Structure 1
Amino acid sequence: MPYRPRSTLEQWRILQAVVDAGGYAQAADVLNKSQSSLNHAVAKLQTQLGVELLEVRGRKAYLTEAGEVMLRRSRLLTQQVEDLELLAANINQGWEPEIRIAVELAYPRHYLNQALAAFYPLSRGSRIQLINSVITGSAEIIQQKRADLVIAASAVIPKGYLGEPLCTTRFVPVTGSNNPLATIATLDQNELSQHLQLVIRDTAQKPQENAGWLRAEQRWTVDNFYEAIEILQLGLGFCWLPDFLISNAVADGSLVQLKMTNNSERLATISLIAPQEDTLGPGSKQLRQLILAAHDKT
């Protein structure tokens, strides 16, 4: 006798929403459904399975131990269904109407621009959406599959995903020419940590400040490297910046590279990742090859 599921994908999606949103009321707002319908769906799911998944304490619902295991497995199931439906859509469309590319700010954009220029005559009208990402924000985009192609630092690629190395970005510590740091012959890390550090905002929804040199107690956070450069040129703070971005400013004397007793540079390998390789559309595949080719020319 063929197996008949006792639960539905919709029930599992509702359970996920209740957990992710922090409660039935919040999930009802996210899903645009009534709170009572969500209560009923989860209660019915628990009855059908014969397992208690959630327990309510006060006004908040908490996962039971069994619920944690079931929820984790359900996410794999719903993601597989989404991937399957996306594959069907790509097969039906033949060529995707939009291609999303997430790009780490530390990546030299001229490579991507060359690839985009070569892609334009082949694009068949596909829209291109570029998404700036930083540090763990790139990892989050990969895990949540919010982009077709992701250019990210290899160090943040989540387990289970493969990247194709593109290039290596060299970060160096710099300050403004009118900052007292610029006059010091050599600095050690302890001395540097006593000064104002400019850092680039992590684009993750839940950023983890565990990447890069972050020892300074006083830090100002900005959205991109160009904002940091403008502040540095006013004589405020220091920042670790990609050498390809600051070469002109160092040459004209408005920025000065700090001389360190050790660890005077940081190297970051940048890779290209396709979070959904199995369902990658033909346009995205074509663009990926052009990005790789742009690096082969150098």
Structure 2
Amino acid sequence: MDRAKSTLEQWRIIQAVVDYGGYAQAAEKLNKSQSSLNHAVAKLQFQLGVQLLEVKGRKAYLTECGEVLLRRSRHITQSVNELELLANNLETGWEPTLTIAREIIYPMDDLVDVLSQFYPLSRGTRITIIDTVLTGTSELIIDEAVDIAICGGPPPKGHLAEPLVDINFNLVCHPEHPLAQFEVIEDDQTLAQHLQIVIKDTALGPNTDLGWLKAEQRWTVTNFHEAVVILKKGMGFCWIPEDIVHSLIEGGQLKKLNLKGSSKRKATLSMVIPNRDKQGPASELIESLIKTHHQIDSI
């Protein structure tokens, strides 16, 4: 195998000379002598047989060839930096990847707010977010297939949960749907005569139906945004989180239904750490940020 003609250190030096506007400035930033930087760049150009920099006055400028090579060198040095960081993370127990299960009724805005705080401290940890529904969330917790889970309803047996937030649901349909003509829907039988839009449970194994599912006519979709598309076409009714449909109700695109004795429903979302013994520092940091976001005191 042929040996490389250049070193990472040489490319880092030339990057510094360009980024800081000259040899003197780069020498100060790198805490090296200006002559050592001049020597390193001159040697690199000699080894490659290509002029990378030309000095005009007191400032160094890239040649056309220098621009192409410097751009490529940044990818290489960045990759090496990430590799070294990953090695350090593995040595200290910092997780290189994390998977979060998010019950789809948990507002994505809240999770993004948390992860935006985590990102500058993440040390390159890659995050995977899995949208889950009902017993699908519990299944992932039981299988320890995720690092953090935000679930609706009680956690699986043997797992502790930290309550985070209550999510209110509205019963809605299109303003011209037959159900919209009722000021108050007196009983379940009236609903049962119409098409219900429901969200598919993401569990892989057998699951039990949760929620009001008495309608004989039922369409199942994978998320609430698909359900809203159907509702806006004048088809069916659905229980949907208030934060998703509030503006649509205010804008007259959907109608909130009043069901006697159950005009509004609520679900409590909780955070579960499937395996505390295996939890690493990155997961602990996200857990702490989620608690802070929801104004929960950490013990």
Q: TM > 0.5 between the two?
A: yes
The residue that corresponds to 1:28 in the other structure is none
Q: Which residue of 2 aligns with 1:42?
A: none
| Alignment partners' CA distance in 2, 1:126 and 1:193 | 48
1:210 positional shift: 2.6
Deviation digits for residues 229-288 of structure 1, max 9, x if unmatched?
Answer: 010000000000111110010010001011111112221110000001111010010011
Do 2:90 and 2:96's aligned partners in 1 also have CA atoms closer than 8 Å? no
* Equivalent residue letter for 2:279: L
Structure 1 unmatched runs, 5+: 1-89
Structure of larger gyration radius: 2
Q: Are 2:236 and 1:198 aligned?
A: no
Match of 1:174 among 172, 192, 198: 172
The 1-side partners of 2:191 and 2:121 are apart by 50
1:71-220 equivalence runs, <5 A: 92=91, 94-155=93-154, 157-187=155-185, 188-220=187-219
Change (3 A) 1:159 1:91: farther
- Using structure 1 for the length normalisation, give the TM-score: 0.67
In structure 1, give the amino acid aligned to 2:113: Q
In structure 1, distance between residues paired with 2:175 and 2:223 = 20
Query: Alpha-carbon deviation of 1:92?
Result: 4.5
Report the residue type matching 2:258 in the other structure. K
Letter in structure 2 aligned against 1:218: Q
Q: How far apart, CA to CA, are the structure 2 residues paired with 1:240 and 1:277? A: 34
Consecutive unaligned residues of structure 2, counting only runs of 5 or more, are 1-88
Query: How far is the alpha carbon of 1:178 from its aligned partner?
Result: 2.1
Give 1:194 deviation, angstroms: 1.1
Percent of aligned pairs sharing the same letter: 44
1:110 CA drift (Å): 1.7
Cα distance in 2, alignment partners of residues 207 and 117 from structure 1: 36
The Cα shift of 1:91 comes to 7.5
Aligned-pair Cα RMSD in Å: 1.4
Q: Which SS does the other structure have where 1:240 is aligned?
A: strand
Letter in 2 for 1:178: E
Shift of 1:154: 2.9
Rounded Cα–Cα distance in structure 2 between residues aligned with 1:251 and 1:265: 17
Distance 1:154 1:161 in 2: 12
Amino acid at match of 2:158: G
Residues of 1 paired with 2:206 and 2:251: CA distance?
Answer: 35
Report if the CA contact (8 A) 1:154-1:163 is conserved.
no
CA distance in 2, matches of 1:122, 1:128: 13
Take 2:172 and 2:184, find their aligned partners in 1: how far apart are those partners? 13
Three-state SS of the structure 2 residue aligned to 1:296 is coil
